[in-house]
Amino acid sequence: MSLADMRRPIESGCPDGMQYMHPVMIKNFGQWKYHEHPRPGVLVHYAESGDAIWTVRAGTQRILDVYTLRKLCDIGDQYADGHVRFTIRSNIEYMVAEEAKVEPLIEALEKEGFVVGGTKNSVAFIAHTQGWLHCDIPGTDASGVVKAMMDELIDEFRNCRMPNRVHITTSCCQINCGGQGDIAINVQHTKPPRINHDLVANVCERPSVVARCPVAAIRPAMVNGKPSLEVDEKKCICCGACYPPCPPMQINDPEHSKLAIWVGGNHSNARSKPSFQKLVAGGVPNNPPRWPEATAIVKKILKAYKEDARDWERINDWIDRVGWPRFFELTGLPFTKYHIDNWRGSRKSLNSSAYIRL
Ligand code: SF4
Ligand code: SF4
């Protein structure tokens, strides 16, 4: 078959976003002059041409059923100009080219129970991974944590009362996607994996499981006459990295898989370099359906930040200024030996900077 006869590859990546954009945005692409923030949840962008476009942002639950999606789209057709987009924090944004459409659009959204907000110095919608629904290794239902927390933080979403924006994240396992932010609520395993030796030989590719362990705690072993694996529990840091390639090494546990709360993770911005988040509360009960212990800690951190930080300081900037001892004093969180990183291996194996090195 000649090259000309061959089928062209079908690209399956992101579709071209331009085809879905509001016409005013296409017309003024790359020609924006400045923007304003007339009220929480609304932004207006002015173009060099004199055009303006209003964006109205509402929170959604991210895992959307088709009826809710239809409802959101109907609102877009009836009250906006028929163009929407979803942000990475599960907000829906409607674009309108006339200011007169903004208030009726907000009213329609609120009438259906959606909350408008999440812009500027508010608590933005909590980003979460969604492993409970589709992944093979989750230790908690991150979307449930988000629902329980946002129910209590919703006034901080619909108002702009924080020193700067606050990005909160959750993740449903300890090692993979998710869990980086001003405040991160992450799974924390506290016991080594339990091995089902009857299944290892049939299910796991043992050399790759051995290679997965960051502290070389896994060895091949014969157990009951079958090839299996064993874990040196003194070395194991309970990271859970062996569980995805080898499900018989079960690490999730209703009692011993906890939540940990980390603060101060941030990309670089105009004021500061990128910063790693740091553990501030460990061993927090993973307690569905409302996760009251984790929510109480997040509220304590937000309260101290709101009262003590200067305007436009992000959480990491605030802690850099006041220092960690003062952070623990202001939040009332106990400082324990678990907050001190005394793992000797980290000197060689962990980056000490958040910059990506090539
Ligand atoms: S955080 Fe972990 S469990 Fe959750 S979706 Fe990502 S990889 Fe899966
Ligand atoms: S949990 Fe982590 S440290 Fe422990 S054996 Fe598995 S990969 Fe190694």
pLDDT one-digit tens code per residue, 217-238:
999 999 999 999 999 999 999 9
pLDDT category at 357 given cuts 50, 70, 90 is very low
Q: Any idea which ligand is nearest the CA of 136?
A: 1
Quick check: CB of 210 below 6 Å from ligand 2?
no
Quick check: CB of 154 below 6 Å from ligand 2?
no
The mean pLDDT value of the chain amounts to: 91
Contact 251, 189 (CB under 8 A): yes
Instruction: Kindly give the distance from the C-alpha atom of residue 174 to the centroid of ligand 1, in angstroms, as a whole number.
Output: 8
Q: What is the pLDDT of residues 279-332, one digit of tens each?
A: 999 999 999 999 999 999 999 999 999 999 999 999 999 999 999 999 999 999
> What are the backbone dihedrals phi and psi of residue 187, each rounded to the nearest 5 degrees, phi first?
-65, 145
- Enumerate residues 6+ apart whose C-beta is below 8 A from 351: 357
Strand partners for 210: none
The distance of Cα 36 from the centroid of its chain, to the nearest Å, equals 27
Per-residue model confidence (pLDDT) at position 266: 84
By most ligand atoms within 8 Å of CB, the mutation choice from 62, 141, 175, 176 for ligand 1 is 176
Per-residue model confidence (pLDDT) at position 62: 79
Q: Any idea which ligand is nearest the CA of 137?
A: 1
pTM beyond 0.75: the answer is: yes
- Alpha-carbon gap, residue 238 to 108, rounded angstroms: 48
Quick check: CB of 139 below 6 Å from ligand 2?
no
Atom of ligand 1 nearest to the CA of 135: 8
Whose CA is closest to 131, among 244, 13, 236, 214?
Answer: 244
Quick check: CB of 306 below 6 Å from ligand 2?
no
Whose CA is closest to 150, among 125, 113, 178?
Answer: 125
State both tokens at 136.
């093979």
Q: Any idea which ligand is nearest the CA of 234?
A: 2
Q: Any idea which ligand is nearest the CA of 239?
A: 2
pLDDT at 184 over 90: yes
Quick check: CB of 209 below 6 Å from ligand 2?
no
Average pLDDT over residues 79-102: 95
> Which residue do the tokens 């100009």 mark?
81
Instruction: State the Cα angle at 287 between 59 and 255, rounded to 5°.
Output: 140
pLDDT at 351 over 70: no
Strand partners for 93: 57, 85
Atom of ligand 1 nearest to the CA of 130: 5
Q: What is the pLDDT of residues 40-88, one digit of tens each?
A: 999 999 999 999 999 999 999 878 899 999 999 999 999 999 999 999 8
Considering the chain, what percentage of its residues have pLDDT values greater than 90?
Answer: 74
Quick check: CB of 95 below 6 Å from ligand 2?
no
Quick check: CB of 241 below 6 Å from ligand 2?
yes
Atom of ligand 2 nearest to the CA of 251: 1
Exposed e or buried b per residue across 221-250, where buried means at least 16 C-beta atoms within 10 angstroms of its C-beta = eeeeeeebbebeeeebebbbbbbbbbebbe
* CA distance to 131, 138, 187, 358, per residue, from 176 (Å): 10, 10, 11, 21
Ligand 1 site, CB within 6 A = 129-131, 135, 137-138, 171-173, 176-178
Per-residue model confidence (pLDDT) at position 174: 85
Average pLDDT over residues 116-133: 91
Q: By alpha-carbon position, which residue is closest to atom 6 of ligand 2?
A: 242
The DSSP output letter for 96 is: E
By most ligand atoms within 8 Å of CB, the mutation choice from 63, 146, 171, 259 for ligand 1 is 171
Instruction: Kindly give the distance from the C-alpha atom of residue 291 to the centroid of ligand 1, in angstroms, as a whole number.
Output: 19
Average pLDDT over residues 192-200: 96
Instruction: Kindly give the distance from the C-alpha atom of residue 236 to the centroid of ligand 2, in angstroms, as a whole number.
Output: 5
Q: By alpha-carbon position, which residue is closest to atom 2 of ligand 2?
A: 239
Quick check: CB of 218 below 6 Å from ligand 2?
yes
pLDDT at 250 over 90: yes
pLDDT at 337 over 90: no
More confident residue, 78 or 1: 78
